[in-house]
Structures are given as C-alpha cells and as structure tokens.
C-alpha cells in the first residue's frame, strides 16, 4: 500500500523522457550501462531525499512481481 | 624491527608469603589501555583496585593509534591528556583518493565545531598511551599493576569472586567484590567462564606496515579506493609521532600470509606506493583479518567485561580502543556508587544496556564501512564506484563514501537513567549526549568547560545578572550522592567562583539562557535539564540516574 510514494503519472512528455533515457545507454557496454544506472539512482534518490519515500520505493521494487 | 619499548619488572606479591587472604573491591584483569584507564577511573572515585597482567610490557608495535575526541576527554578527566597532547599528532582533515587520479576526490574535516580542547583525533602509538597511563597509576594511591600475574581461574560466589593468580614464583588467591575483565579480544576470562562471543569474521586480509621515514605529507588521513599501487583493493596512510607512518594495505582473502610478510615483498608494496628511491625503516609489520563480535551481555554477576573482551570491531572508524575507554567512563562511577552502598547493584544493568547499545552501533558502522570498502557483489562494487565518481563533484555523494565512520561519542538517548525534557532547548545536546566543550575562564584563567564537570554529578547553572548561585544549591553538596554546582556567570566578566563564558559559546551550545540548569553525570553525559533551577527536580533526576527508584 502506497503511503507517500506518488505513482500517479507526473511526467508530462513521457515518450520524450523515455527516449532520452534509452539514448543515454546507446553505445555503452553492459558495465558502463550499469554504472550509469547506479548514478541515475543515486542522483534521483538524493533528489527525493525523504526517507519514507525512499524506503517505500525499495519495498515496491522488492515485492514487485509482474503478473503472468 | 622495533624492540619492546618498555618492560616492567615482576615484583613478588606479598600474598605468596602470607596466609591472610586480602579482599579487594575490584580486580582488573589486563593492563592494556582499557584496564589501566579503568584502574585510574576507580581511583578517582576512591575505589582500590589491583590490575593483573600476564605479561611484563606495554604493547609491541603501534597497534591502536587513533584516539578520538571523546576518548581524549575521558583521558583528560583521568589526568593523562597533557603528554598525549604534547607527543601526539593532531589531525582533523582526511582525503579520499580513487583509482588512477593523483588528486583527491575530496577532503573532509572530522571536527564539527572549533573552540574545543581536543581535536577530532590525535594519533599516538598504543605503547606510548600505555606508558602514560602506567606512569599516572604510579602517582596514585589506590591502583596497583602486577606484571606477570596471570589469572588462571575465577570463581564467583554470592557476594564476590575469588581469583587464582599464577606468577613465576608461585600461585596465590585474591578475593574481591567485582572482577573487571579487560583482557582483550581473546579474553581468557571470557573463555574460562564459557561465554559466547557471537558475530562474524570478515574474509579479507590487511597488511599493516608501520615505517619510519622522512616525508613531508601533510598530517591528514589519506584513504585510497582501488589505487594503481594496490589494484582492486584499498590503502590507508596515517601519521604517528617519531616520523612513523602507518600504511595499511588491503590484500584480499586468498593470500599466502608468510609470503606477504617477507620484508622484500612488503618493501615492494611500499615502493610501489611511495616511489622507487624512497628511504624507510620498518617499525612494525603485521597481517590481520578482522571480526565484528560482541558478548550478549557485558555483566555476569560479579564479572564485568570491558573493551575488546566484550566487543570487537574492524579497525575502520577507530571504534575499538576508543569505545573501550567509553566503557570505562560509563562503568567507573556506577561501580563506585554500588561499592559505597549508595546505589543498588542493578545500576550495572544500565552499564550493560548503554554499552551494549554502543557496541551494536559500532559494529553496525564498522560492518557498513567494510561492505563499502570490500563490496560483496558485483552490483555493490558498481554502486560503490558510482558513488566515488560522483563524489568528485557532488556533496551528496560524498556522504555515501564510507572509508570508516570515524568514532564519535555515543549518545545514550534511549537510556532509562535520563530524565526526559519538559522544556524545549535549541541545542544539539539531548539527554544522554556527552557534554560539549567550550572555552571558559576560571578566576580569569582560560580553561575548558569539560574540565569543570565530571567525576561526580554536576549541575551547571546559567546565572541571571548579578546572581551568585541558585537558591538551595549548596545543600546538594551534602546529599548522599553529592551534586556539585557550577555557576556560569551571566556577565562577560566572571566573579570569584563563577565560570566565565567569555566567548559566549557555552551559552550558545547549551542554549543557556539565564536560569537554565543542566545536570551532568559523573561521566559528563547530560542526564537532565530545566529552564528553572528546581532543587527537588535535581534530586529526582539524580535518583533516577542512580536507580534509587525501585518501584
């Protein structure tokens, strides 16, 4: 159950952001992509800052199972 | 390699020639820094103790070299800080290096606030500190060290313990009220009594090379992640007195210990780090693995465990000996009150609770540092390296970098000995925090606030204009558990007997507006505070802090 984490759509031009996200990884090796993802996570996490939200994000992805 | 610095002669104990058994209040086992500090703390409290050590010398090799601000404050209270300040190497700055870059990723300062007597850390070889403690013991009446007196058995009775001591000239027994085991990480006492020492051993090796060299590096702590001279591992550089430098190389788990310890191989490592035509002498070389362990409880009836005997951490963060000295700080006054019949034996439960809490905190910090320094999975390493890359430019990422969270004083905010705040205070201190230092004047002479509190309960009162002392405070000195009152002058010029706060920093750090009263325990931890001086409230707080309430 979501407490503070916002999961409603908030990114206005989601296709544009998505394309840029994927473009970031173009031409990168798997190791480089991993490193880049880690930096993304760290920067975004710091921007969020709120401990409760961060822990909630961790819980959501830990428990997330796509439906078969 | 350095020879042993200081040896002490065996002296034939009188017990070998007498049938009379002596009963001592306290027997301390182990004359390391923690055991000797324990003796000195009890001495300050008027409690006699004998310290038994199976060896005849101070530590071989530098061993513990970082003494934290809080440990230095404890040592100051025990009368041992002057020589440490004179001899030791003071540092507040650290630098972090990563990979091939010769420039540091960033630097940091471990001292949060200036204007305190002690810096964040002083580096000093353990053998010097032990020598200073021993010399101080020799000036005291109530504390005695017996070298080459090995404890071979401890038998607990209902109201005490009997210790069997083996010496080069025979065996004897001593009776006591309490045994304090300060006998180190391998604690023979802990083994004799069959107590668990649960935790984990980390699968990694580190090589310490203490070397003597002339170098003009600044006096800072330098830490390398994945440097070219120790690829995939870490390294650490620290300065000690006498031109001795500590180099600490991470080696990994699969190593040939004997091979690594060969002087040629150690030299090869050092030259790779420092340069080919580099002159040095070895002082001490050792390979260690480390463990994070603790006993479930530090108090077992009449046997109390302190220091490494009770808890063990990795060296990153300097949380070993420094936490041992805080054990001493916590235990001395409590044990003295119990032995004097002024507090119930149950007060020891607060030692157990407060110091187990501290040990958990130290182990947690130490384990986390270890996981950052030696990532346990591939993704963990990728995150670690991402943090280090970002740290060059972003302050937030520097906060993640963990080369050891350096020892800071433990805040006992969950302790039942505290009286919770009724009033509000704009201060970093909370009940359970150690007192914060600040420059003060006593009769015009410059001094430090922390020198004015400690060894007994101390009420610190911020006087109103022209006020000399709060009403009724004198009576507190006559209580069964006396409370000394220290009055902070309300004016810039302190009158006789008052403490001057000439820079206004004490007022600022304690939010000490006129009328405010802070009550500190004998170990200088804050235990209660009020906006008004209330005699009964002070007495209630002392009663709570000494577990006088049984109901």
**SS3 per-residue string spanning B301-368:** CCEEECHHHCEECCCCCCCCHHHHHHHHHHHHHHHHHHHCCCCCHHHHHHHHHHHHHHHHHHHHHHHH
Instruction: Give pLDDT tens digits for A30-63.
Output: 999 999 999 999 999 999 999 999 999 999 999 9
Q: Is residue A68 part of a domain?
A: no
Q: What is the pLDDT of residue B217?
A: 81
Q: How far apart are the first and last CA of chain B?
A: 61
Domain C-terminal end among B343, B365, B387 = B365
A39 CB within 8 Å of a chain B CB:
yes
Taking the C-alpha atoms of residue B179 and residue B160, their distance in angstroms, rounded to an integer, is 8
How close is the nearest chain B Cα to the Cα of A30, in Å?
11
Check whether residue B81 and residue B192 sit in a common domain: yes
Check whether residue B209 and residue B63 sit in a common domain: no
Q: Is residue B98 part of a domain?
A: no
Q: Is residue A28 part of a domain?
A: yes
How close is the nearest chain A Cα to the Cα of B372, in Å?
15
B390–A35 CB contact, under 8 Å: no
What's the maximum distance between 2 C-alpha atoms anywhere in chain B? 73
- For residue A39, which residues of chain B lie inside 8 Å, CB to CB? 386, 389-390
**CATH classification of the domain holding B328:** 3.50.50.60
pLDDT band at A68 (very low <50, low <70, confident <90, very high): low
Q: Is residue A47 part of a domain?
A: yes
Check whether residue B187 and residue B125 sit in a common domain: yes
B549 CB within 8 Å of a chain A CB:
no
- The minimal CB distance from B382 to the residues A34, A43, A46 is found for A34
For each successive 10 residues of chain B (551 residues), what is the average pLDDT?
72 92 95 98 98 91 90 97 96 94 92 88 95 97 97 96 97 97 97 96 92 86 96 94 94 94 93 87 91 96 98 90 97 98 97 97 93 94 98 96 90 96 96 97 93 96 89 92 94 78 95 97 98 96 89 42
Q: Is residue B551 part of a domain?
A: no
Q: What is the pLDDT of residue B332?
A: 98
Q: Is residue B167 part of a domain?
A: yes
Check whether residue B531 and residue B449 sit in a common domain: yes
**CATH classification of the domain holding B530:** 3.40.30.120
B390–A39 CB contact, under 8 Å: yes
A38–B396 CB contact, under 8 Å: no
In A, minimum Cα distance to B393 occurs at: A43
Q: Is residue B44 part of a domain?
A: yes
Q: Is residue A24 part of a domain?
A: yes
- Phi-psi category of B242—alpha, beta or left, where left has phi over 0 and alpha has psi -120 to 50? left
How close is the nearest chain B Cα to the Cα of A16, in Å?
26
3-state class (DSSP) for residue B404: coil
Q: Is residue A3 part of a domain?
A: no
What contacts B134, CB < 8 A, 6 or more positions away? B6, B8, B31, B36, B58, B145
Instruction: Give pLDDT tens digits for B470-481.
Output: 988 989 999 999
Q: What is the pLDDT of residue B493?
A: 67
In B, minimum Cα distance to A39 occurs at: B386
Q: Is residue B413 part of a domain?
A: no
- For residue B393, which residues of chain A lie inside 8 Å, CB to CB? none
Check whether residue B150 and residue B45 sit in a common domain: yes
In A, minimum Cα distance to B394 occurs at: A43
Chain pair A-B, CB pairs under 8 angstroms: 28
Q: In this structure, are residues B175 and B22 in contact, taking their beta carbons and an 8 Å threshold?
A: yes
Q: Is residue B430 part of a domain?
A: no
Check whether residue B174 and residue B250 sit in a common domain: no
Check whether residue B302 and residue B168 sit in a common domain: yes
Check whether residue B187 and residue B231 sit in a common domain: no
Check whether residue B306 and residue B329 sit in a common domain: yes
Check whether residue B28 and residue B64 sit in a common domain: yes
**CATH classification of the domain holding B237:** 3.30.70.2450
Q: In this structure, are residues B287 and B261 in contact, taking their beta carbons and an 8 Å threshold?
A: yes
A40 CB within 8 Å of a chain B CB:
no
Q: What is the pLDDT of residue B17?
A: 94
Q: What is the pLDDT of residue B112?
A: 74
Distance set, CA B530 to CA B416, B430, B463, B486, B548 (Å): 18, 12, 13, 15, 21
| Domain tally, chain B | 3
Domain C-terminal end among B314, B330, B365 = B365
Pick from B146, B8, B122: which is nearest to B69 by CA? B122
Instruction: Give pLDDT tens digits for B213-226.
Output: 887 888 899 999 99
Q: Can you tell me the ipTM of this complex?
A: 0.94
Boundaries of domain holding B286? 205-291
Q: What are phi and psi of B164, to 5 degrees?
A: -100, 130
Check whether residue B286 and residue B300 sit in a common domain: no
| Domain tally, chain A | 1
B525, β-bridge pairs: B434
A38–B382 CB contact, under 8 Å: yes
Pick from B303, B302, B358: which is nearest to B330 by CA? B358
B229 CB within 8 Å of a chain A CB:
no
- For residue B397, which residues of chain A lie inside 8 Å, CB to CB? 42, 46
Q: Is residue A41 part of a domain?
A: yes
Check whether residue B235 and residue B341 sit in a common domain: no
Taking the C-alpha atoms of residue B229 and residue B293, their distance in angstroms, rounded to an integer, is 32
Q: Is residue B417 part of a domain?
A: no
A34–B390 CB contact, under 8 Å: no
Q: What is the pLDDT of residue A1?
A: 52
Q: What is the pLDDT of residue B340?
A: 97
How many other C-beta atoms lie within 10 A of the C-beta of residue B176? 22
- For residue A31, which residues of chain B lie inside 8 Å, CB to CB? 382
Boundaries of domain holding A33? 14-63
A38–B386 CB contact, under 8 Å: yes
């Amino acid at each position: 159950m979501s407490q503070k984490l916002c999961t409603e759509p908030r990114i206005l031009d989601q296709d544009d952001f998505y394309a840029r996200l994927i473009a970031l990884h173009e031409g990168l090796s798997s190791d480089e992509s991993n490193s880049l993802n880690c930096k993304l996570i760290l920067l975004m996490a710091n921007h969020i800052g709120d401990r409760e939200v961060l822990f909630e994000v961790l819980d959501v992805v830990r428990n997330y199972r796509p439906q078969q | 390699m350095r020879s042993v610095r200081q040896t002490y002669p065996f002296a034939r104990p009188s017990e070998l020639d007498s049938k009379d058994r002596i009963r001592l209040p306290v027997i301390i086992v182990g004359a390391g820094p923690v055991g000797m500090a324990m003796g000195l703390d009890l001495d300050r409290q008027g409690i006699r103790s004998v310290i038994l050590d199976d060896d005849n010398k101070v530590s071989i090799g530098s061993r513990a070299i970082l003494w934290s601000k809080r440990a230095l404050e404890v040592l100051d209270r025990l009368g041992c800080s002057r020589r440490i300040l004179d001899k030791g190497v003071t540092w507040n700055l650290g630098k972090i290096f990563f990979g091939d870059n010769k420039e540091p990723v960033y630097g940091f300062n471990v001292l949060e606030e200036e204007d305190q007597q002690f810096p964040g850390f002083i580096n000093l070889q353990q053998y010097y500190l032990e020598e200073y403690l021993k010399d101080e013991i020799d000036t005291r009446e109530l504390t005695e060290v017996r070298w080459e007196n090995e404890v071979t058995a401890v038998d607990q009775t209902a109201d005490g313990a009997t210790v069997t001591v083996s010496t080069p000239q025979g065996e004897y027994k001593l009776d006591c009220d309490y045994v304090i085991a300060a006998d180190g990480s391998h604690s023979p006492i802990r083994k004799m009594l069959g107590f668990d020492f649960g935790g984990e051993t980390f699968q990694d090796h580190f090589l310490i090379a203490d070397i003597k060299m002339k170098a003009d590096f600044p006096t800072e702590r330098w830490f390398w992640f994945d440097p070219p001279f120790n690829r995939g591992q870490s390294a650490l550089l620290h300065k000690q007195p006498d031109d001795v430098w500590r180099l600490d190389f991470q080696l990994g788990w699969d190593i040939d210990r004997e091979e690594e310890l060969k002087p040629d191989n150690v030299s090869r490592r050092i030259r790779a780090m420092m340069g080919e035509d580099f002159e040095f002498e070895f002082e001490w070389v050792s390979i260690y693995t480390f463990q994070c362990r603790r006993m479930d409880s530090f108090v077992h009836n009449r046997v109390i465990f302190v220091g490494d005997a009770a808890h063990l951490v990795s060296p990153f963060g300097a949380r070993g000996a420094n936490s041992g000295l805080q054990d001493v700080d916590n235990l001395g006054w409590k044990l003295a009150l119990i032995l004097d019949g002024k507090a119930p034996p149950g007060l020891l439960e607060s030692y157990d609770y407060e110091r187990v809490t501290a040990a958990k905190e130290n182990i947690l910090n130490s384990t986390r540092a270890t996981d950052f320094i030696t990532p346990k999975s591939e993704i963990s390493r990728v995150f670690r390296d991402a943090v280090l890359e970002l740290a060059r430019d972003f302050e937030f990422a520097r906060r993640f970098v963990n080369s050891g969270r350096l020892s800071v004083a433990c805040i006992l905010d969950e302790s039942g000995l505290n009286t919770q705040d009724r009033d509000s205070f704009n201060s970093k201190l909370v009940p359970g925090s150690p007192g914060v230092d600040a420059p003060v004047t006593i009769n015009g002479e410059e001094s430090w606030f922390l020198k004015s509190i400690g060894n007994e309960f101390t009420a610190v009162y911020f006087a109103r204009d022209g006020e000399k002392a709060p009403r009724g405070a004198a009576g507190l000195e006559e209580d069964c558990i006396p409370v000394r009152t220290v009055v902070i002058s309300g004016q810039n010029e302190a009158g006789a007997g008052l403490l001057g706060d000439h820079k206004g920093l004490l007022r600022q750090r304690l939010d000490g507006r006129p009328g405010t009263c802070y009550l500190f325990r004998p170990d200088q931890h804050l235990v209660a505070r009020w906006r008004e001086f209330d005699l009964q409230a002070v007495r209630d707080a002392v009663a709570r802090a000494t577990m006088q309430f049984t109901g």
